[in-house]
Amino acid sequence: MKPTAISLFCGAGGCSLGFKQAGYSILFANDKDAAAAETYRNNFPETTCSEQDIDTLDFKKLLPSLGLKQGELDILIGGPPCQGFSTAGTRFWDDPRNNLLKSYINALKALKPKWFLMENVEGLLTSNKGKYVFEASKAFLELGYDIRIEKVYSQEYGIPQRRKRVLIVGNLNGHEFKMPSPTLKVSGQIFKNSDVTLQHAIQSLPRATNEKNKLLASILSPPKDNFDRLMRDGADFISDHYSPVVDGIQLERISNLKPGQTMKDLPENLQHESFKKRANRRVADGTPTEKRGGAPSGIKRLHHNEPCLTITGAATRELIHPTENRPLTLREAARIQTFPDSFNFYGNKSQKVQQVGNAIPPILARIFAEHIKDDYGFEVKNKSSGKLLGFTLTKAGAMSPALKRTQDLLNGLTKNKDQQGNLFD
């Protein structure tokens, strides 16, 4: 029998796809974004995908409709978006910005899955001075989960992109869970040297068209490598592989960019007005931009022989093809995120690229899904309390003051059980 999963905040379904490829049955999914839900339903017709507000979902009623009792679900996947800093003077769980996290924990409480996997941006670790991840961890522990928190560098797992994300994995099975070992050795500054690069992701795609709705016949030549074979996935046609004609000053800007260069490397007469204003502004205390993390980079020319920069909702505007004078196409961005060519996206252009940018790379999800299923399993042992198994906040040689605050908070969970308190107190 296949392991069972429910996906919350499912988006287009990157995490679901990885778990499906690993042999799981996705019983139910939810996302309030209508375009993302349409994409999900078209790619996972066997799964019920709801657009209902998660605050109003009754998970206790959901279980019997799926043929399950509390505690029988194998894993809950997906995670609530971090809503940023809490309002000053407001108790953490009273702050409306934390409602999505609260709803997620309520889902865990009602479903009692044997495992959960929660993914988020790396800012989760420092949001609200570390209190967000600290309070979430306390809640997971109170529900009896043993948890591990780690910043994951996706390029170490064969993803052709430098993408850092936070994963929190918990289980009720009493397993001393450890993250799967990286599949690749990466090196260099910000891990830009890797055996899987941007070129691996996009090398076999046909030349992009300028026609928005044109389908391109899939390449019939033998796959160039195993990654290319995974991306083709039996697709007969390539969709969303188009780029509007670039001309005028934008073409001049792009034409002048060499691989690795950004807007700041262009002559001043080619820099965008809004870029120049932002680059030269000072904050109220007089601190110049170069002392505040640098100017905005705007467009960026990519390297063929390195993992791509992080795919975001701006990828098809700002990330420039390494050899052609145009931004990436949606299909190129999807391949860099490891969506196969058979996976189609729905909605307008901005909705589609947002779906791609928000997704967990399916190959990364598959690695974790197989690791949990094959190396640990779903047999529940008798245990009464949760514990923090460990955490890795950075692989850098030095730790920022913000991460140090988070480290101190999390260390308190391993040393002082009294700090756990009661859920939402």
- Catalytically annotated residues: 82
Find all residues with CB under 8 Å of 172, minimum gap 6, and list them.
112, 113, 114, 115, 144, 145, 146, 380, 383
Please tell me what DSSP assigns to residue 149: E
**C-alpha closest to that of 170 among 199, 139, 195:** 139
* Cα of 220 vs its chain's centroid, Å: 31
Contact 418, 385 (CB under 8 A): no
In 3-state terms the chain splits into helix, strand, coil percentages (rounded to 5) of 40, 15, 45
Task: Please give the full DSSP string across 97-126, using - where no structure is assigned.
Answer: GGHHHHHHHHHHHHH--SEEEEEEEGGGGT
CA distance 38 to 407: 40
Pairing of strands 164-171, 388-392: unpaired
Contact 15, 78 (CB under 8 A): yes
Instruction: Taking the CA atoms of 398, 402, 408 and 414 in sequence, report the sign of the dihedral they define.
Output: negative
Find all residues with CB under 8 Å of 396, minimum gap 6, and list them.
none
Residue 84, phi then psi, degrees to nearest 5:
95, -155
Please tell me what DSSP assigns to residue 285: T
CA distance 326 to 320: 6
CB atoms within 10 A of CB 387: 16
CA distance 232 to 342: 7
Contact 45, 23 (CB under 8 A): no
Contact 241, 206 (CB under 8 A): yes
Contact 377, 135 (CB under 8 A): no
Residue 273, phi then psi, degrees to nearest 5:
-55, -45
**C-alpha closest to that of 302 among 336, 268, 345, 278:** 336
* Cα of 345 vs its chain's centroid, Å: 17
